[in-house]
Structure 1
């Protein structure tokens, strides 16, 4: 952490980015810090990667700290929220990004345990986290901060329903419905709730998916992708930054699809 006050459109705000050590979460954490927020970087395994994100934010004059908690571990999430409140202040901005991919099996072959696990990671865990921080968000919205924000990182696959992806797309779709409902329930408290749904992204997960499904490097898909490149984590981070900024003061309950207007290269 660093005691230097931040400047920017998010100055005075405390953001929690789940899955913030790598990929999209890393890009979002860095962007929110650049825009002035104090950032809690949540991670599950890779402490070194989370520490590197924190170090980069602090080196730029921001305030940040890393917190280890699996999003589907209710007790660990509750302890994390308490620690963030003590270290950085009450959370008034959550970017729900932590997640994992499904095993690539068809509906008939997927076990109940696999469906349940993805629901825990992509829906039940994030819902529990939101329940933990909502009281602080409401206070922030009623005070100097003037608003609270929930942004869910989803996927455009909830619209296309590709084969061999049901546990993932079902869980993402369930959380999308929760966020849309929250947007209506919480707007009277000054809280905005929105969804960002990217297509294929050039992250470690995206690289593994392309390698497994096509036997090629994700960079080989750039030429066939919109605007001559596969989506980058920074593209998603920029969309999140807009949704939590003063420029989106009248935006809630929306889904912004970040796929270059589609279609993306087929990977299923």
Structure 2
């Protein structure tokens, strides 16, 4: 990561106020990028992320917008261009968890909500950002997915469906935008130390997420830094040619619980 230089580039990270999004935003800033921090509700946490980026000497600003809202998303993308200049990195990270019920016990509204954020939202932000991304010789889009798409476990249909649809978007977009110099890739973490991860861990163990460390490769649950390292490689000059690919952050396929 120390050799990656993103100076002169501007990134938008959706869902960047906490967890994996915050980790990615900070990693991009450490590598030299300016960062637009998107959030939906937690303005205080977003302000903390902005302050942490500013402390690294990079420009940052928070933008409140749900990726499920067309008007708010369009206004955000326009504001970022006015504040920073055209984007060259887009990280589609915004997401929510499902309730963990069977298909028989899940109503359509929950499915529609998750698809609206993970898939339709990522489509919307990508579509709105493409005119800016195409202005550079090289730009990058990363879709943050999940190893959930490898197993499609029971009691997770809304999440599994939404993440799979997000991956389909990335793989399609990679083919469409290759001539524009836009690389599109997927980073798919397993359970990760984050607010969402903590809630899932409590549902599994009734305790702290680190109670699961012994079940994971390398003796620990992955952190946002592990996810961010993959993102940095994908968006950097260390990756001159790779597009339309997926990297699972799951310790050789062993991060199961």
For Structure 1 versus Structure 2, the TM-score category normalised by the shorter chain is: over 0.9
SS in 1 for 2:184: strand
TM-score by length of 1: 0.93
Aligned-residue offset at 1:265: 4.1
Match of 2:159 in 1: 168
Aligned residues: 255
Detail structure 1 runs of 4+ shifted over 4 Å in the superposition: none
Distance 1:58 1:211 in 2: 34
Aligned-residue offset at 1:213: 2.5
The 5 Å alignment of 1:1-268 reads: 9-140=5-136, 146-266=137-257
Distance 2:49 2:134 in 1: 28
TM-score by length of 2: 0.97
Aligned-residue offset at 1:175: 1.1
SS in 1 for 2:135: helix
Aligned partners of 1:38 and 1:63 also within 8 Å = yes
Distance 2:153 2:122 in 1: 24
Distance 1:127 1:84 in 2: 18
Bigger Cα displacement from structure 2, 192-201 vs 213-222: 213-222
SS in 2 for 1:102: coil
Distance 2:159 2:4 in 1: 36
SS in 2 for 1:177: helix
Aligned-residue offset at 1:167: 0.3
Deviations 1:165-211 (A, max 9, x none): 00011011011011001111100110000000010101111111110
Distance 1:30 1:218 in 2: 22
Distance 1:57 1:8 in 2: 17
SS in 2 for 1:247: coil
Unaligned stretches of 5+ residues in structure 2: none
Deviations 1:116-154 (A, max 9, x none): 1111010011101111010111112xxxxx211000110
SS in 2 for 1:152: strand
Aligned-residue offset at 1:56: 1.2
Aligned partners of 1:25 and 1:97 also within 8 Å = yes
Please give the root-mean-square deviation of Cα atoms over the aligned residues, in Å: 1.2
Unaligned stretches of 5+ residues in structure 1: 1-6, 141-145
